[in-house]
Structure 1
Amino acid sequence: MVGLKRVEDRPTPSSVYNIRVYGAAITASFAAIMIGYDSAFFGTTINLQSFRAEFGADEVRSRSADLAGAFFGSLAGLPVGYYFGRRWGLLGAALIFTLGAGIMLAANSSRGLDAIYAGRVIAGFGIGAASNLTPLYIGEIAPPAIRGQLVGMYEIGWQIGGLVGFFLPYGVDTTIEPSRKQWLIPFAVQIIPSGLFAIGIPFFVRESPRWLISRSRRDEAIKNLSFLRKLPADDPYMIQEINDIDLQVENDRTAVGSGFWAPFRQVFGKSFLFRRLLIVTSLFMWQNATGINAVNYYAPTIFRSIGITGGNTSLLTTGLFGVVKTVASLIWAFLLIDHLGRVRILLIGSAGGAISMYIIGAYIAIGKPQNKTTPSLDSGGTAAVFFFYSVSWNGTPWVVNSEAFPGAVRQVTQCLAATSNWLWNFAIARATPTMFEQMGGGGYGVYLFFASMMILSIPFIIFLLPETKNIPLEEMDRLWLDSHPWTANGRVLAELQRERAERPTHGKDDLLFPPKNKGQQEFVEQAQGGTKKNEDMA
């Protein structure tokens, strides 16, 4: 499969990087296609003349309803994933979204917008649950060396859905006369990705082996992991991975406890975990501070601020912006995230994005493109369109949050990551129209604000966020307990490689007696009260 040089903590058979694990990740990422389409098509569709003629458009209220549903859906994904598993949770999210999308189709001029509002809340609930469970599931089935790439499928799916959502309203606007049919088609298309998602799950998505072992379904877990790794159960790589999962589950039961609420007590009761939670969930605040979701939700408004006027021109430009995002996301997932790593790519995105936003703000303040009376773009406006997108911040927070915690607490932390995403999405959806009205002519101050926020994110990343690439999920505590985040990755990976070499695995009998390792023992000590050394490190 696609990828550059892969680094693992132990010798890895090439068969581990196979079509089965990619297929499971791609199928799970159909959740992101429905999410991306939903986030893109609505703002452009309600700007169609046919929609405005039938209803008018209350953009903020409608988007807020969707995001409120997503927020609560991301919370609901936690108990569903805990009790029923990732696979059934994803299927439920797909069906709920499909139901919501179907309800929206009942709206017309006589019934009003109530069906759209209700449908968007229900669809949003499905979106929220899927946004919780998809990165969690992919992170749990992925080999460490391609974990960023596989979780990156979620981001690619989001951008593919967004690309269709941006272009379809332009297509119906140019090919279909204004009518109910014109605006109804983009609403109906929502059912396609959610339907394909629901159909694909039974065929391509195997339940997470980590979840199965945590539920004492060990034989099924070994069978699923053997299928995903394309290796026999007695292969040394398989034995080592099952050993690590067994040990993590054992440590969870010792240190975290059992039951639904035990991980909550652990995360909020232990300072070293709570600190980590604050760091990784804050990435979604910085993500929204790049301005990318403001563009997603209010693309026609924002493109008008740089001089793009006329309905068709605005819709076409929005579609072209979707092309830029999709191509950039493919490069990010297949060439950058597992090669450059999470930290480096965020730093590059912050620095480059800040420069771009400062340029756009200066262009609007000086050139005043918002006062143009012709629909054509000058060279400055054309450049501004392509300056908007900071690809590194769109998907990387999802990757980091899917892998930053080991064991049972990961279900809780991934849930809180998803809710953080939707909370900040809600905030930006509410604030963006007011910001454009009050922050300078043409809203140039909005771009200066986003640029300044990206500058502020740089020290946050450097001093608080360790590089997580190539580190097994079961060893994340060792990484985060290192007192020097900037250099922790290389040091921890070298330690793991040395330990693996000193402790070879010979046969399947080793499955019965999994060896303890330094990182997991440190986690148990921390969870049970900690040592002075670890308290200092935390």
Structure 2
Amino acid sequence: MVKLARVEDRPTPPEVYSWRIYVNAFIATFAAVMIGYDSAFIGTSISLNSFKTEFDLLTKSKTELGLISANIVSMYQAGCFFGAIIGYPVGYYWGRRIGLSLSGLVFCVGAILQTVASDKTGLGIIYAGRVIVGLAIGAASNLAPIYVAEIAPPAIRGRLLGMYELCWQIGGVTGFWINYGVTRHIGESHKQWLIAFAVQLVPGGMLLIGSLFLTESPRFLVTRDRNEEAHKNLSYLRNLPGDAPYVVEEMHEIKTAIAHERSLAGAGFFGPMKTVFAEKRYVYRLLLGSSLFAWQNATGINAINYYSPTIFKSLGIVGSSTSLLTTGVYGIIKLLGALVFLLYLVDQLGRRKLLIAGSIGGAISMYYIGAYIAVADPTSNTSGTIDAGGRSAVAAFYVWTIFYSPTWNGTPWVVGAEIFPQHVRTFTQACMAASNWLYTFLIARFTPQMFAKMDFGVYFFFASLMVLSVPFVFFLLPETKSIPLERMDELFGSDLRPWRAHGAVMQRIRDGQTHGPTRSSTPEKGETEMLESV
């Protein structure tokens, strides 16, 4: 996905790769810091004794406490699900820049509601704030990748889109270590738990302020017939005069491509929806892409993200500082795994091999953890120290993270963006984002109850699901590495088995065949250029 060397689709003036394109992309992808931070801080914050004391949770039974924790966490995912859907009409009618600005503003409103909560207000205001924050993040998770894809020069598109995943992991690491810091240096008090909630305002406020300086996507402006403004913005983003041949040619390609897309999907808000649901091949891909997010959650990642203190407690790690330190190390490993994924693995090994390897390695690790807990019963340890067996279980957990981070962490997003043509991708991206948040909501909502009822069985459950994901990927998901976007119809052709499709299509490409037998139509020049540029 990320290549340090630039492979240009045509001779490109060096001015195109100026700071302007990087700054605009970074502002948009900074939305992912909000997402990563929230996924990391909330589970550890609500496990603090200071938070439980504030809202009179120490007297609750284990079942009641699990239900409250699940509600606090899952309210956010429910908001994200609807926010991802809302992001489609917001982006369609108002544009990417205004959409990201609104996301930042709404996020700050939700964060403020959470920070003013206290024993006097009760948890109701936190629930409301969590839903509002979720709406903002869901919309941002839809709009930010689309904006970056639309403004990026083809040669550095992967690098710029990679900043989104990188920012996500940076937010996650920050969330883990903020909680560790307040636990070590601030005594149990209202201030201790409040700081982590208040820090949400930093990434939210930075997105809000930064988005005011974003240059609106030229491609969006052309879809609204604001061609003169689009030409001006493209000239600015490319750091070239408006009459420069490169700008004139790209502007012509954008207008040609959009005209062709309208002929394929129909003009208007509902055109892409009608196109997707009228074509069985697109419905199949929609279900396939959505299923990848279900399998991603079946690895147990969001159970770990949101309930890491519970996870480490089950391994026999006692004491909030020790638990948070262990969680912080987990966040760093996840960040490093994301870097390896973005810089090397996804473009070298391909999607299928990564997902299968991640499932096999992750399943073995999870089975070991479950077996250790079943035999050793580490929760009965009252010595305050962890023995050799416990350390091996923690090591297995980190091995699971090493397998997950460069495989299932980002690959579903890559595949979801690749398998659809440009003229429906804005709609299908909203569907992919909504799918992610729906499955995350289900896992976050029921994980506390699963641990209460199943104990070590939770690890066996997720390990078994990872095993089941291997035949799913092998038999149903074709490899998309190196396949041009305009030839995805061939890759998913009915005459090709998924595990053989990649080799067959690549052979056709090497043989110089323009299209395979399953291609429904020949793309016009504008469509081809835009498919390659988004």
TM class by shorter chain equals 0.7 to 0.9
Deviation string 1:57-107 (CA, Å, 9 cap, x unpaired) is 621111122111111111110100111111211111111001110111221
Alpha-carbon deviation of 1:137? 2.2
**Match of 1:101?**
111
**Match of 1:513?**
none
**Match of 2:145?**
135
**Which one of the candidate residues 309, 318, 324 is aligned to 1:315?**
324
2:352 aligned with 1:343: yes
Alpha-carbon deviation of 1:280? 0.9
Alpha-carbon deviation of 1:308? 1.0
**Match of 1:27?**
27
Secondary structure, aligned partner of 1:47: coil
**Which one of the candidate residues 435, 454, 464 is aligned to 2:466?**
454
- The amino acid that maps onto 1:117 is Y
Deviation string 1:482-515 (CA, Å, 9 cap, x unpaired) is 835456557667877998xx9xxxxxxxxxxxxx
**Match of 1:381?**
393
Partners of 1:288 and 1:316 in 2: CA distance: 24
Alpha-carbon deviation of 1:209? 3.3
Alpha-carbon deviation of 1:114? 1.6
Q: Structure 2 unaligned runs (5+)? A: 58-64, 524-534
2:257 aligned with 1:257: no
> Does the Cα contact within 8 Å between 1:479 and 1:489 map onto a contact in 2?
yes
**Match of 1:283?**
292
Deviating more after overlay: 91-100 vs 21-30: 21-30
Q: Structure 1 unaligned runs (5+)? A: 503-516, 527-538
CA 1:364/1:193 → structure 2, altered by over 3 Å: closer, same or farther?
A: same
2:453 aligned with 1:438: yes
> Does the Cα contact within 8 Å between 2:37 and 2:200 map onto a contact in 1?
yes
> Does the Cα contact within 8 Å between 2:352 and 2:478 map onto a contact in 1?
yes
Secondary structure, aligned partner of 2:456: helix
Partners of 1:463 and 1:138 in 2: CA distance: 33
**Which one of the candidate residues 212, 216, 221 is aligned to 1:202?**
212
Any residues of structure 2 matched to 1:61-140 within 5 Å, and which?
Answer: 61-140=71-150
Alpha-carbon deviation of 1:426? 0.9
Partners of 2:428 and 2:436 in 1: CA distance: 12
**Match of 1:356?**
365
Alpha-carbon deviation of 1:428? 0.4
**Match of 1:405?**
420
Deviating more after overlay: 467-476 vs 85-94: 467-476
Partners of 2:470 and 2:155 in 1: CA distance: 25
> Does the Cα contact within 8 Å between 1:32 and 1:158 map onto a contact in 2?
yes
- The amino acid that maps onto 2:35 is I
Partners of 2:17 and 2:479 in 1: CA distance: 22
TM-score (norm 1): 0.84
- The amino acid that maps onto 1:196 is M
Partners of 1:47 and 1:459 in 2: CA distance: 38
- The amino acid that maps onto 1:419 is A
- The amino acid that maps onto 1:61 is N
- The amino acid that maps onto 1:418 is A
**Match of 2:528?**
none
CA 1:206/1:480 → structure 2, altered by over 3 Å: closer, same or farther?
A: farther
**Match of 2:42?**
42
Any residues of structure 2 matched to 1:427-506 within 5 Å, and which?
Answer: 427-439=442-454, 443-470=455-482, 473=485, 476-477=488-489, 479-481=491-493, 483-486=496-499
Alpha-carbon deviation of 1:381? 3.2
Secondary structure, aligned partner of 1:338: helix
Partners of 2:243 and 2:482 in 1: CA distance: 24
Alpha-carbon deviation of 1:408? 3.4
Partners of 1:399 and 1:107 in 2: CA distance: 38
> Does the Cα contact within 8 Å between 1:49 and 1:178 map onto a contact in 2?
yes
> Does the Cα contact within 8 Å between 1:355 and 1:451 map onto a contact in 2?
yes
**Match of 2:52?**
52
CA 1:74/1:454 → structure 2, altered by over 3 Å: closer, same or farther?
A: same
Deviating more after overlay: 485-494 vs 39-48: 485-494
Alpha-carbon deviation of 1:251? 2.9
Aligned length: 506
Secondary structure, aligned partner of 2:317: coil
Secondary structure, aligned partner of 1:312: helix
**Match of 1:187?**
197
- The amino acid that maps onto 1:122 is I
Alpha-carbon deviation of 1:413? 0.7
> Does the Cα contact within 8 Å between 1:149 and 1:337 map onto a contact in 2?
no
2:310 aligned with 1:301: yes
> Does the Cα contact within 8 Å between 1:71 and 1:125 map onto a contact in 2?
yes
Deviating more after overlay: 288-297 vs 375-384: 375-384
Partners of 1:405 and 1:282 in 2: CA distance: 15
Deviation string 1:377-427 (CA, Å, 9 cap, x unpaired) is 333133133123211212221222233322331121111111111110111
Alpha-carbon deviation of 1:166? 1.2
Deviation string 1:330-349 (CA, Å, 9 cap, x unpaired) is 22222323333333322332
CA 1:487/1:223 → structure 2, altered by over 3 Å: closer, same or farther?
A: farther
TM-score (norm 2): 0.85
Partners of 2:510 and 2:229 in 1: CA distance: 29
Alpha-carbon deviation of 1:115? 1.4
Secondary structure, aligned partner of 2:383: coil
Partners of 1:93 and 1:323 in 2: CA distance: 27
Partners of 1:149 and 1:340 in 2: CA distance: 18
Alpha-carbon deviation of 1:212? 2.8
Alpha-carbon deviation of 1:265? 1.3
Deviation string 1:151-177 (CA, Å, 9 cap, x unpaired) is 332222111111111111221111112
**Match of 1:331?**
340
CA 1:338/1:254 → structure 2, altered by over 3 Å: closer, same or farther?
A: same
CA RMSD of aligned residues (A): 3.2
Deviating more after overlay: 420-429 vs 469-478: 469-478
> Does the Cα contact within 8 Å between 1:280 and 1:400 map onto a contact in 2?
yes
Partners of 1:359 and 1:146 in 2: CA distance: 41
Secondary structure, aligned partner of 1:394: coil
**Which one of the candidate residues 418, 430, 441 is aligned to 1:415?**
430
Deviating more after overlay: 326-335 vs 340-349: 340-349
- The amino acid that maps onto 1:339 is Q
Deviation string 1:321-373 (CA, Å, 9 cap, x unpaired) is 11111122122222323333333322332222222222222222233323322
- The amino acid that maps onto 2:88 is L
Partners of 1:220 and 1:228 in 2: CA distance: 12
Deviation string 1:307-329 (CA, Å, 9 cap, x unpaired) is 11122211221112111111221
Alpha-carbon deviation of 1:237? 6.9
Deviating more after overlay: 244-253 vs 382-391: 244-253
- The amino acid that maps onto 1:448 is F
Deviating more after overlay: 282-291 vs 21-30: 21-30
